């Protein structure tokens, strides 16, 4: 269970749909929403963990926004993260957290899980305001991103950049 009740959350994080509905949305998370990170206990603690996964297409870059990472489309990397089944209430709260439509855009992409099963999942992509030079600066830090994921218990050595087990 979440450590914070809905009424204790700031108004911007209170969903319109009451909690407790069916978990029917598959969401792929890659940053502060992953297990063990800061936003997990407030947003996904009551959701169903499906497993670790990565995007099928290597069409992204992960960049740092300071306190948290963001994924931008148009790169040449797969993104490693976790899959969760969430209810409508949580789905709405995630949209609010990610400022869906303003800072991030929720879109569906194909992910492959650790068993090799390909799934369509929602992922939040940063609405890209970075210059080409800023993108190149962050893409040169790929090794740091792999260390970030490996510290979360994700074995990056067992995946190719196409997103499949080697």
Q: Which residues contact 165 (CB under 8 A, 6 or more apart)?
A: 114, 116, 158, 159
Q: Which residues contact 27 (CB under 8 A, 6 or more apart)?
A: 47, 83, 84, 85, 86, 91, 94, 121, 122, 123
Question: What span, in angstroms and rounded, lies between the C-alpha atoms of 95 and 139?
Answer: 26
Known catalytic residue at 24: no
Which one-letter DSSP state was computed for residue 156? G
Catalytically annotated residue among 82, 98, 133, 146:
98
Residues designated catalytic:
98
């Amino acid at each position: 269970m979440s450590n914070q009740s809905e009424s204790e959350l700031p108004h911007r994080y209170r969903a319109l749909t009451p909690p407790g509905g069916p978990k029917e949305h598959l969401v792929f998370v890659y940053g502060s929403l992953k297990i063990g990170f800061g936003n997990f206990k407030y947003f996904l603690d009551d959701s169903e963990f499906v497993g670790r996964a990565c995007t099928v297409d290597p069409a992204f870059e992960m960049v740092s926004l300071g306190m948290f990472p963001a994924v931008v489309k148009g790169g040449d990397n797969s993104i490693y993260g976790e899959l969760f089944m969430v209810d409508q209430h949580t789905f709405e709260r995630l949209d609010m957290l990610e400022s869906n439509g303003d800072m991030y855009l929720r879109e569906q992409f194909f992910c492959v899980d650790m068993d090799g099963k390909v799934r369509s999942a929602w992922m939040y992509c940063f609405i890209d305001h970075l210059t080409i030079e800023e993108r190149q600066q962050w893409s040169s830090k790929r090794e740091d991103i792999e260390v970030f994921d490996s510290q979360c218990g994700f074995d990056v050595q067992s995946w190719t950049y196409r997103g499949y087990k080697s």
